[in-house]
A and B are shown apart, each in its own frame.
Chain A
Amino acid sequence: MIDKTKISPNKFIETYTTMVRIRQFEDRVYLLFLEGEMPGTIHLYQGQEAVAAAVCANLRREDLITSTHRPHGHAIAKGVSLRSLMAELFAKKTGCCEAKGGSMHMGDMDVGMLPAIAIVGGGIPVATGLALASKMMHSGKVAVSFFGDGATSEGAFHEAVNMGAIWNLPVVYVCENNLYGASTHQSKVMKIKNVAERASSYGIPGKVVDGNDVFSVYEVAKEAISRARKGKGPTLLECKTYRRGGHSRSDACRYRGKEEEKVWLAKDPIPQARKKLVQLGVLTEKKAKEIEEKVKKEIKDAIEYARRSPSPEPEDTLVNVFVGGEN
């Protein structure tokens, strides 16, 4: 159950607002893509908002995260500005990667998010290295690596989590298990039911949590992050969740059963959270509406900003390959 004493009302509202912000951002971006206003492809985060919002709510600005090909939610939750995210999607110079990255590489080191690493599992060793440096430099920073269920079949996952474990590094491995690696169901690629069971082979705690319940994610993330910060080593968190949409822009999800979709889509993390917050007396329906309106304005502002921002110059291609010169 939710222990109101453990989270301040402001934190509740802030985390809830983050979820709403991610949802509205993604819904709007989806339409903009369909309308052809944005180039490239997108992997949207609707349905998984509780994970990014609750985990990042427990992080400090200087803590670090690595993300995946589906990074919009993590970026918003870690505090990358909506304007720079939207501008990146519009391929504008004001984008968070100066239009070098696009949807799959969002990030901003100023708020502790590496450019998202779009190779499945590729960010897990890097996050472990961020944590190694934190330990060596006594900086007190925690690293969080977000990845999907599919990434846990990668060698990089095994190599990195093992290193994090043997060196007791301040890192938290957050697996967002949305049941599918692209179109392939988890049951086809692993014999275990819970990804978190893999933790036992590294001698670290593995926790399964309802990834659509922001309060549950908040509790376990808080514990894991605090454990990491205290030098007690990593935790593998498995957040069971579901993509509301397809793997990428063109995916009609014909591989998912209608019944399964019905069950999961009914467990939408945002109305669930709103209902609980109202019950707790932290939120009113009126306040919830206000949050939605406020976020709507933020998104509108971000879109306008992106539209009026300049495109990069073609020659900007040449910049930032090497430190101190271009060859």
Chain B
Amino acid sequence: MRRLSVAEAVREAIAEEMRQNEKVFCIGEDIGIEGGFGGAFGVTQGLSEEFGHQRILDTPIAEAGIAGVAIGAAIMGMRPIADVQYGDFIFVAMDQLINNAAKLRYLSKGKIKVPLVMRIPVGVSGRGTQHAQSLESLLSHIPGLKIVCPSTPYDAKGLLKSAIRDDNPVMVFEHKLLYGATGRKEALDVSMDVPKEEYLIPIGRADVKREGKDITIVGLLKTVHTALTAAKRLKKEGIELEVIDPRTLVPLDEETILKSVKKTGRIIIIQEDNLFSGWGAEVISLVTEKIFDYLDAPPKRIGPPATPVPFAPVMEKYYVPDEEDLIKEVAKIMG
């Protein structure tokens, strides 16, 4: 075992899969340039040295082109891992993802497979409105796309490997503050022991990140860590939070969530993605539709206000839900 950051775990997953299967390749902006960045977050750093520029394929700044070309290659049996730097840039590629990746199988009598992985960095990280958005709810709205959101290095490696092997288009969301960047004070250090040997985490299985009897907290990406931090503090007051990380939104592991709420009778969602039509609303609908009688308190969502992401640190802090917000809600519900 050795400690890896999320960026290192993602890189290792890519390299392992590329070594095992020559069909796997990376395509994106600034991913393999010598003396360059290894993608916007250093994830593909060094990979072109091992795999060459044919398989770590640098592109023009052309997100619709990247997505469309990756879809075409995937249809032919290649396994592209596409990268668009910041998730916010993926809006340029939406037609390709939504109208083609998600639908061509449906239109082809099931003859087409689109084994595409799209890596999409999301989340607020001090970079202002157009380099900050969370897009996981938005894309989870489209039938035909799988949605994966790893919150730890262990999950990032195991889930990405499964995503690469999946025959469907998989959108993999990575939070910018979880990569393990040094020199950004707002970044979280979530590095942890990650097995060197091969392992896979199946897409569609939630993880109970912390067991507790009092309230079920469901978080995703960075808010899983927010919930865990809050849980540590609340333990001192004798309140035990159960922290559930769905890890994938589509398909959603309903069973794990329902089981937890049956035990605790209470649920709070903490999400960085917008609340309106967001994934948390979906989870709460699930709970109220299926096990309403188990609830001892009204479900609650904590999330950002319905505004663009502001730049000023003081406003950004106000925008992003943190452990204080969560602890306040817990107090109200337990009160």
A203 to chain B, nearest CB (A): 13
Point out the residues of chain B lying under 8 angstroms from A247, CB to CB: none
Cβ of B168 < 8 Å from any Cβ of A? yes
A107–B112 CA distance with the chains assembled, in angstroms: 11
Q: How many A-B residue pairs have CB under 8 A?
A: 143
**CA separation between A127 and B54, bound complex, in Å?**
19
Contact (A129, B72) CB under 8 Å given A137-B78, A162-B60, A320-B106: yes
Contacts of A156 in B (CB 8 A): 64-65, 68, 95-96
Residue B74 lies at the interface, judged by CB distance under 8 Å to chain A: yes
B297 within 8 A of A: no
Take A159-B64, A163-B59 as given contacts and tell me if A136 and B54 are in contact as well, using a CB distance cutoff of 8 Å: yes
Of the candidates B63, B75, B167, the one whose C-beta lies within 8 Å of that of A323 is B167
Contact B106 A321 (CB under 8 A): yes
Nearest residue, chain B, Cβ from A169 = B69
- Given A100-B106, A100-B107, A114-B104, A132:B69 Cβ within 8 A: yes
**Minimal Cβ-Cβ distance residue in B for A117:** B100
Smallest CB-CB separation from A96: which chain B residue? B109
A156-B95, A321-B143, A323-B168 in contact; A133/B68 too (CB < 8 A)? no
| B23 cross-chain contacts in A, Cβ below 8 A | 137
- Beyond A109-B112, A128-B72, A133-B73, whether A320 also contacts B105 by CB under 8 A is yes
How many residues in A have their beta carbons less than 8 Å from beta carbons of B? 46
Residues of A within 8 A of B77 (CB): 133, 137
Inter-chain contacts of A98 with B (CB < 8 A) = 109
* Contact A163:B73 (CB < 8 A) given known A136-B25, A322-B146: no
Instruction: State how many angstroms separate the Cβ of B253 from the closest Cβ of chain A.
Output: 11
Residue pair B108, A155 in contact (C-beta under 8 Å): no
Complex CA–CA separation, A129 to B60 (angstroms): 14
Question: What residues on B are CB-neighbors of A125 within 8 Å?
Answer: 64-65, 67-69, 71-72, 96
- Asked if B68 and A160 sit within 8 Å, CB to CB, the answer is yes
Give B303 Cβ to nearest chain A Cβ, in Å: 25
B124-151 residues with Cβ-Cβ distance < 8 A to A are: 143-144, 146
Q: Decide if A233 is an interface residue (CB 8 Å cutoff).
A: no
Rounded to whole Å, the gap between the CB of A29 and the closest CB of chain B is 19
Q: Does A265 lie at the interface of the complex (its beta carbon under 8 Å from any beta carbon of B)?
A: no
Task: Tell me if B99 and A134 are in contact (CB < 8 A).
Answer: no
Q: Are B107 and A134 in contact (CB under 8 A)?
A: no
Contact residues, A100-142 vs B (CB, 8 A):
100-101, 105, 107, 109-110, 114-115, 117, 119, 122, 124-134, 136-137, 139, 141
Is the CB of B332 closer than 8 A to any CB of chain A? no
Also in contact, A122 and B99, with CB within 8 A (given A129-B72, A156-B64): yes
Cβ of B251 under 8 Å from chain A: yes
Bound-state CA distance A156–B77 (Å) is: 22
Name B144's contact: one of A105, A122, A127, A322 (CB within 8 Å): A322
Residues of A within 8 A of B74 (CB): 129, 133
- Residues on B with C-beta less than 8 A from A160 are 64-65, 68-69
Q: Interface on B for A, CB 8 Å cutoff?
A: 23, 25, 54, 59-60, 62-65, 67-78, 92, 95-96, 99-100, 104-113, 143-144, 146, 166-168, 250-251
A–B pairs, 28, beta carbons within 8 Å: A96-B109, A97-B107, A97-B108, A98-B109, A100-B109, A107-B107, A109-B108, A109-B112, A114-B75, A115-B107, A125-B69, A125-B72, A126-B96, A129-B71, A129-B72, A130-B72, A130-B73, A133-B72, A133-B73, A136-B25, A155-B92, A159-B60, A159-B64, A160-B69, A163-B59, A163-B69, A320-B108, A321-B105
